[in-house]
Amino acid sequence: MCGRMATLLPHDAMAQLFGAAMANDLPDVPNYNVCPTVSVAVVTSETTVRRLRPMRWGFIPHWYKAANGGPLLINARAETIAEKPAFKAACRARRCLIPAAGFYEWERPDGGEKLPWFVQRADGAPMVFAGIWQDWEGDGQRLTTCAVVTTEATGEIARIHHRSPVILEEGDWGKWLGEEGHGAALLMQPPSEGVVRTYRVGKAVNSNRASGPELLEPLED
């Protein structure tokens, strides 16, 4: 799964990387501890123009009467995304890219204390998650929201957790965004061997109030 991430790349660098027009109200970066329900920078493609825009991380189905009117949907399972009522329309028509420096995952050896890890690309490039998005209006609010698509974990990630975000390679960005015809469903796979690296970090990140670059420092043996 993906329940916490870090975003470090400046907005102008993100806009250049994706060839996207940049919105004026993007969330502050860097953010070393991005938690659900906060705003994240997301790439969409609309009428052949890519946009870098803010969205609330936590997908809200249209039938929710309030933003907290049901389960917090930060992830969407690739195996069922096309059938789930909450996600199936977005999967067909509202796919997005969610860039990050990487994400945190926790293991619990022998059912004991939760130990945090950081997962990033082995080549140091930004990590780009497959995402879906949804406009929602209700309870006097209007929000644009998103979720990270996840799949079964393999390799490095599987040693920590059984789920992984779908991590897209640059050559697949256009296909996921719907710019290059059909075939997006074939992209919902675990990352290939060697794409990511993982390392232990300190337990400070167990708190969603923690912040600062020290959260990403490798834990010394």
Supply the residues annotated as catalytic.
Answer: 2, 105
Q: What is the dihedral of CA 44, 45, 47, 50, to 10 degrees?
A: 90
User: Across-strand partners of 96?
Assistant: 131
Helix (H) or strand (E) holding 42: strand 39-46
Distance between CA atoms of 198 and 124, rounded to whole angstroms? 12
- The answer to whether 165 and 171 have CB atoms below 8 angstroms apart is no
What's phi and psi for 217, nearest 5 deg? -70, 130
Of 174, 166, 181, 195, the residue nearest 81 (C-alpha): 166
